[in-house]
Amino acid sequence: MSGSPTYVPKSALGRWFESRLPVMGLVHSSFVAYPVPRNLNYLWTFGAILAFMLTAQIVTGVILAMHYVPSATLAFASIEHIMRDVNYGWLIRYLHTNGASMFFFAVYVHMFRGIYYGSYKAPREVLWILGVIIYLLMMATAFMGYVLPWGSMSFAGATVITNLFTALPLIGTGVAHWLWGGYAVGDPTLNRFFSLHYLLPFMIAGVVGLHVWALHVAGQNNPDGVEVQNVERDTVAFTPYATIKDLFGLSIFLILYAWFVFYIPTYLLDADNSVPANPLVTPAHIVPEWYLLPFYAILRAIPNKLVGVVALAAAIILLAFLPWLDTSKVKSAKYRPAFRVFFWLFVVCCVGLGYLGSQEVSDTTTWVARILALGYFGFLLVVLPVLGLIEKTKPLPASIADAVLAKTKPAEAAAPPASR
Amino acid sequence: MDNLGERCEIARTATGRFLHEPVREPATAVGARVETAGRGGHASPLAPGLWRNDLGVQLSSAAIEKPNRRDFLYIATAAVGAVGAGAVVWPLIDQMNPDASTLALASIEVDLAPIAEGQIVTVKWRGGPVFVRHRTKKEIDDAVNTPLSELKDPQTDQERAKKPEWLIVSGVCTHLGCVPLGHEGQYEGWKCPCHGSVYDTSGRIRQGPAPANLPVPEYTFLSDTRVKIG
């Protein structure tokens, strides 16, 4: 949905190049003239924020890789070398570790926005599935990155997650040995995790390219869930409106990021990871990083090893089926009052599971986690399919322009301009 | 992408940005489309009539020339942004400079007591070899008594050795960087096995393709038996 005239450069050199590789035209039609619904709110700035965070992680990561040594005997010391000796090494390290957390914070806001406003519905199903693939790649990347410092928690995390594969019948142990390059997590594991941790972000970048491409085919969804009908009335040009809005959203986000990096850089780091890895001793209290906690809680809630692993995988894979699980024709929760209630209950389940994932296992935490896990799967497998068939939705606005004007119409009589 | 705006014909304020209407067109009524034929450049925004009303700006040639509050804000933001960008980029570049552990090895101390007369010891300094030579009387005399006209890179021995019995020179051949072999070559100094450069007992180039004498690093005698290099 580009709808803009062909871009013709002013200079002769520009025209020569453009006729051979139309990059400027592509940038122009995708990020300058590209029409964007005029009713987007700040939740729509998180796409740009995520693109920024991916770039930031790649830049800081490549720099860290100049100083890091991926060997079981030297990894921990190389991190200390980065923190103490390398010029601004402490800054780049904290940017990278806190950057990962900020990346996941942004991705969760981005995903919950998608669920709330039905951005996964037709014609954006492939866009959504590409997003789930990006999410999976992010989790793999983050998991491997966490192993690299080779602290106690790094080692424990690597052991637990790779041991998930031993749940597979018949082939499980063989797969685990293949992953480890040995009989347990060790030096070969660390080396290959470093290689893959360097590789995966570029795969993420590739899938992000497909994700933005798919987005530009269908166009953005919007808070009213009503598709663009009249490009002139319903949309504005990406530049300068969305550009500036994204920059502003990014600036606020960066303030939060900087708060962590400069004032509380170790708040999200586990103290046990400041102790070098010891294969013969496991820390008393194992936790993954906060962004993996809900899935960790689901895994622990189920008493059977294989079913627990399957549930963990299902919790993530089911997200890819959202476009078909949700039967409602109405996209936005703004016009689905019953869905809104269940949505927020779902959020409570996710946050609650996350909290429980951080706690030591007890009888109470187990049965509460089971209830919340039931809520999680119930939302996806029961509420979404059934609600679409029986709910009462509010009347949709006729168009995006009408939805925007409805906000100002009561205040003004004659044909008003949209508010600035 | 910044240049797209400037290279396309757009109305210009002092900064020439984001006012996508041509100068000479009159303001239009709400909702009317503005023809953009013949501009051959930047595509007009998709709702020009609405946009103009949104801005509430009536364009005339008088309004274009005076820099206004918007221009000031744009330039001020760009300036602060540039400072911010510099502050962000500097650590990313500086991290490749030698780090604290490398700088700590920028100077080394060498104990001269165990070095016998006539012996050459090679020490590692800043990642490369340095020859510490305890010269015999003959070696010193040969070095001092060389006429400067014979030297490709003329330097007296006194310029190169603070104390005549100790010659401290970098062990990197000034040709292409190999490490010359001690007590070799017709001057009993050094000879480089790679391309045959020959140095004398003061480390000066005498034959071969090397253009310069073996460099003398900065060094200080802490005592008669201890020297600090670098």
> How far B45 CA sits from the closest chain A CA (Å)?
6
Tokens of A279: 């294969």
pLDDT, tens digit, 9 for 90 and up, residues B87-123: 999 999 999 999 998 888 889 999 999 999 999 999 9
Question: In the structure, what pLDDT confidence band is assigned to residue B65 with cuts at 50, 70 and 90?
Answer: confident
Nearest C-alpha of chain B: how many angstroms from A9? Answer: 6
Sequence length of chain A is 420
Asked if B105 is an interface residue toward chain A (Cβ–Cβ < 8 A), one would say no
- Best B99, B101, B102, B105 member to test A by mutation, with max A CBs in 10 Å, is B99
Sign of the CA dihedral running A192, A195, A200, A203: negative
Average pLDDT, stretch B186-199? Answer: 94
Asked if the C-beta of B61 comes within 8 angstroms of chain A's C-beta atoms, the answer is no
Q: Is the dihedral of CA A158, A159, A165, A171 positive or negative?
A: positive
Residue numbers in chain A where pLDDT is lower than 50: 1-4, 412-414, 416, 419-420
pTM of the model: 0.82
**What is the biggest distance separating any 2 CA atoms in chain A, rounded to whole angstroms?**
78
Q: Contact A227/A43 with Cβ under 8 angstroms?
A: no
Alpha-carbon gap, residue A59 to A47, rounded angstroms: 19
Per the model's pLDDT, the better-predicted residue between B134 and A409 turns out to be B134
pLDDT for A6: 76
Beta carbons within 10 angstroms of residue A91's beta carbon: 18
Query: Could A89 and B99 be called an inter-chain contact, meaning their C-beta atoms sit closer than 8 Å?
Result: yes
Closest Cβ opposite residue A87 in set B1, B36, B99: B99
- By residue count, chain B amounts to 230
* Separation CA B148–CA B146 (nearest Å): 6
ipTM of the complex: 0.81
B100 in contact with chain A, both atoms CB, cutoff 8 A: yes
Q: What is the pLDDT of residue A50?
A: 98
Q: Which two tokens stand for residue A187?
A: 């030096």
Indicate yes or no: CB of B41 within 8 angstroms of CB of A240.
no
**Chain A residues with CB-CB distance to B28 below 8 A:** none
Angstroms from A88 CA to nearest CA on chain B: 6
- Residue B104 pLDDT: 86
Reply yes or no on whether B195 is catalytic: yes
Q: What is the pLDDT of residue A408?
A: 75
Q: Which residues of A touch B94 (CB under 8 A)?
A: 87-88
Sheet containing B181-182, strands listed edge to edge, beginning at the edge strand earlier in sequence? B181-182, B190-191, B198-199, B205-207
